[in-house]
Amino acid sequence: MKKTSTKIRVRYGETDQMGVVYYGNYPLYLEQGRTEWLRELGFSYRWMEENNIQLPVTELHIQYKAPARYDDEITVITTLENIPTVKIEFYYEIFNAENQLLVTANTTLVFIDTPTQKIRRAPEYLLEKLKG
């Protein structure tokens, strides 16, 4: 499936007193990975929201293997797990500059029709891009 790589520099405010990334910041890195995955496909969250699609996260699973630290350059690898239906599932790996695996994670998001606030199928324009 489609995979992207996003580089992120760990900022001071994302760490604790030991200079280690606070565990609650990793979902933000995953979100950045998803955002860039979608952008590389030719869309943006903003564009999808303007076109009445919302993508809330319904599941998040993270396994912490090693810490990222202040000023590290980390790489978020974001991979689509399956062709989307009413949900879209991603798998992530986060590495440091030495290529050490720091985190693995999975997220599930659902497609919501903004006007009705009901779950809907993945939009055709997204499915066409994935097939092409």
Write out residues in the chain with pLDDT < 70, as ranges. 1
Would you list the domain boundaries of the chain? 3-131
Q: What's residue 74's pLDDT?
A: 98
Q: pTM of the predicted model, to two decimals?
A: 0.94
Rounded Cα distance, 96 and 75, in Å: 6
| Residue 122 phi, psi dihedral angles, 5° rounding | -60, 140
Instruction: Return the pLDDT at 1.
Output: 63
DSSP string of 37-74, one letter each residue: HHHHHT--HHHHHHTTEE--EEEEEEEE-S--BTT-EE
What percent of the chain stands above pLDDT 90? 97
pLDDT at 132: 74
Annotated active-site positions, please?
16
| One CATH from 3.50.50.60, 2.40.50.100, 3.10.129.10, 1.10.15.40 for 3-131 | 3.10.129.10
